[in-house]
Amino acid sequence: MLVSNPAILRACVVSAADGTLVVRTEGQNLYLYDKHEMALLLNNFYYPPSMSNGVNLELILYRMVRLENNVMCGYKNGSGFFAVKNNKVIVIAVYEGNGFEGNRVHAMVDHLARLLE
């Protein structure tokens, strides 16, 4: 994913059942997985009002957050994230860039989530 889209900084895949880590980017692009954050993120998919104060990912609070059709996105100061949930996993990508880059990241994360279903 990182090779195909340089706007993606870090990514991970977690279980949609309980938020446990399946795979994440490593090395200098290490995704900072936190079990508590993932539990809260998973809860947001089932109870969207819990996102009213924003969403934390990698210790960053994203305040501009939206959830629509199992696609969650957030934005803060030139960077953002997409999280796409299917029945098995949630694919998450953190990116840097503008709306155009965000659209490309969204398409890639959505495609990967469909492949993993």
pLDDT tens per residue across span 65-84: 899 989 999 999 889 999 99
Whether 15 shows a pLDDT value over 80: the answer reads: yes
How many CA atoms are closer than 13 Å to the CA of 55, on its beta-carbon side? 28
Backbone angles phi, psi at 10, to 5 degrees: -150, 155
Over residues 50-63, the mean pLDDT reads 91
The DSSP 8-state label assigned to residue 17 in this structure reads T
Q: What is the pLDDT of residues 76-117, one digit of tens each?
A: 988 999 999 999 999 999 999 888 888 899 999 999 999 998
Whether 55 shows a pLDDT value over 70: the answer reads: yes
In the block, residue with structure tokens 């949930």: 85
pLDDT band at residue 38 using 50, 70 and 90 as cut-offs: very high
| CATH class for the region spanning 8-115 | alpha beta
pLDDT band at residue 6 using 50, 70 and 90 as cut-offs: confident
